[in-house]
Amino acid sequence: MEIEQIETGETITLKVSGKLTAGTAEDFGVTVTDALTKTAYLVLDFQGVTYVASAGLRVLVLTQKKLAAAGGTLILRNLKSGILEIFQITGLDSIFTIE
């Protein structure tokens, strides 16, 4: 998994590519937590993500909770149809802003 961080004003966009597995979720979580120390407006661009495991979903849910509690915003962008389907089946599409 690779993550590119782009800062534009108060927004941080993390362009994620590869597989978000149990093995990569911890590093992903560390990167996301680091970004949250700098902004309350986080965009996760998943255009290059080919797989999301439950451990990755856990990181996303925890991030959403942290940002919501702080009055921030999390946007998930460019989810491929197979990954979007995971969010729809689990009902997570109702708690995330997906573009």
- Residue-range definition of the domain harbouring residue 45: 2-98
What pLDDT, on a 0 to 100 scale, did the predictor assign at position 26?
95
pLDDT tens track for 34-47: 999 999 999 999 99
What pLDDT, on a 0 to 100 scale, did the predictor assign at position 96?
96
What pLDDT, on a 0 to 100 scale, did the predictor assign at position 2?
96
Alpha-carbon gap, residue 20 to 29, rounded angstroms:
10
pLDDT tens track for 16-68: 999 999 999 999 999 999 999 999 999 999 999 999 999 999 999 999 999 99
As for how many domains the chain has, the answer is 1
Alpha-carbon gap, residue 27 to 31, rounded angstroms:
6
Sheet holding 97-98, edge to edge: 2-8, 11-20, 41-52, 73-77, 97-98
End-to-end CA distance of the chain: 21
What pLDDT, on a 0 to 100 scale, did the predictor assign at position 77?
98
The CATH number that applies at residue 85 is 3.30.750.24
